[in-house]
Amino acid sequence: MTAATAAKAALRSQAIETPSWAYGNSGTRFKVFTQAGVPRSPQEKLDDAARVHEFTGVAPAVALHIPWDRVDDYGALAAHAEKRGLRLGAVNSNVFQDDDYKLGSVTHPDPAVRRKALGHLLECVDIMDATGSRDLKLWFSDGTNYPGQDDIAARQDRLAEALAAVYERLGDGQRMLLEYKLFEPAFYSMDVPDWGTAYAHCLELGPKAQVVVDTGHHAPGTNIEFIVALLLRAGKLGGFDFNSRFYADDDLMAGAADPFQLFRIMYEVVRGGGLGPDIAFMLDQCHNIEPKIPAIIRSVMNVQEATAKALLVDRDALGAAQAEGDVLAAHAVLMDAYDTDVRPLLAELREEMGLDPDPLAAYRRSGWSEHIVAERVGGAQAGWGA
Ligand code: AOS
Ligand code: ZN
Ligand code: ZN
């Protein structure tokens, strides 16, 4: 089998999960720009996600966010997805939007607030039971703004207690993915600021607890692929929230700011045998100024391109150069793969999959954008960044 054929076989089964909130209106803390035709309901978000999957062939799952995607009947929502060739992916909890959470959620000093937050997390697992989702994604905005504001270690105890209760509630085949973030909204101390904290909690909890790496959640200059390699090696990498950043948690399109970094991350995934269903390859981004569905298609394609390049790394040549300590040869092997134009290979793959080789052009021609602008009036805000 040629390298290209092997790469195509792996790319064919890739699954990139798109976030429901990326389809709705979003913005920064300064302004939410509304766009015509955005979904008015979780069902309409799935209708848009179905277009992304239809034209890329590799975006079969959609992450939900509770309460933004709250519905009466989650089984019916799963059926709505299934009818469109989709499945419901990670359930994202939200313990950051209520006034009660001003000083934290599961780490709040008041036990009543902690109980409320835990109740929501457990409700999310109930929802997973109904949707058939495998993953509960936990991101906590918890933290403090001022030294002395609260007891840092006691907050870790409260966090551990809540995580243990959620872990206990997980059913067979369900997992919890713990996400870390360096700062924001808390500016002095976040309660899960880095991979080490997330890893330590997941280790204590057990095999159903895994770390999720959001590519926008590190200090500038952090070697994210190192974290990926380390977590994979430890069997603790549960998934990604892909997005791009120039400064902080910018949530721009994956692969837009630093495609080389995305390649380096995907190389570690491929090298560590992680390119399979055990790792959730999710997008977590917002499209504030660009049209949303084409931006999501573009992001999926960017992840695909980085994956294709990672798959094309000549591992034998790389291993040989590394073993010989030939620094420049080893570096050249990696760069050869990165410098390969994989667009023809991906176009070929799409044709083999019965798809249009150019997903963006196919989407434009489909008339979906005109259809939703005409049909949908008063689209919903994602709930993010108001
Ligand atoms: C927040 O900064 C995190 O990236 C979250 O993963 C995510 O944006 C949130 O869970 C969406 O609800
Ligand atoms: Zn995220
Ligand atoms: Zn984020």
Look at residue 93 and give its three-state secondary structure.
coil
pLDDT given at position 383: 65
Identify the residue whose C-alpha is closest to ligand 1 atom 5.
Answer: 139
Mean confidence (pLDDT) of the chain? 97
Burial 146-157 (b: 16+ CB within 10 A, else e): eeeebeeeebbe
Render pLDDT for 198-220 as a digit per residue (tens, 0 to 9): 999 999 999 999 999 999 999 99
58, 11 contact by CB (below 8 A): yes
ipTM surpassing 0.90 = yes
pLDDT given at position 381: 74
Nearest atom within ligand 1 for CA of residue 241: 6
Residue 386 reports pLDDT greater than 50: no
What six digits make up the tokens of 239?
């998934």
Residue 153 reports pLDDT greater than 70: yes
Rounded-to-integer distance, Cα 116 and Cα 228, Å: 33
Residue 384 reports pLDDT greater than 70: no
Percent of residues, the chain, with pLDDT higher than 90? 97
Cα 318 to averaged position of ligand 1 atoms, centre (Å):
36
Taking CA 216 as the corner, what is the angle to CA 234 and CA 252, rounded to the nearest 5 degrees? 135
pLDDT given at position 385: 41
Identify the residue whose C-alpha is closest to ligand 1 atom 8.
Answer: 284
Average pLDDT over every residue of 29-44: 95
Nearest atom within ligand 1 for CA of residue 19: 11
Residue from 369, 263, 305, 269 nearest 58 by CA: 305
What six digits make up the tokens of 13?
């089964």
Residue 320 reports pLDDT greater than 50: yes
Cα 361 to averaged position of ligand 1 atoms, centre (Å):
30
Render pLDDT for 333-361 as a digit per residue (tens, 0 to 9): 999 999 999 999 999 999 999 999 999 99
Rounded-to-integer distance, Cα 293 and Cα 296, Å: 5
Cα 185 to averaged position of ligand 1 atoms, centre (Å):
11
Render pLDDT for 51-100 as a digit per residue (tens, 0 to 9): 999 999 999 999 999 999 999 999 999 999 999 999 999 999 999 999 99
Structure-model confidence comparison of residues 29 and 189, the more confident one: 189
Q: Identify the structural domains of the chain with CATH numbers, from first to last.
A: 13-310 (3.20.20.150)
Render pLDDT for 113-137 as a digit per residue (tens, 0 to 9): 999 999 999 999 999 999 999 999 9
Nearest atom within ligand 1 for CA of residue 383: 12
Q: Is the CB of 139 under 6 A from ligand 1?
A: yes
Nearest atom within ligand 1 for CA of residue 179: 6
Cα 179 to averaged position of ligand 2 atoms, centre (Å):
7
Cα 344 to averaged position of ligand 3 atoms, centre (Å):
33
Least distant ligand from the CA of 96: 1
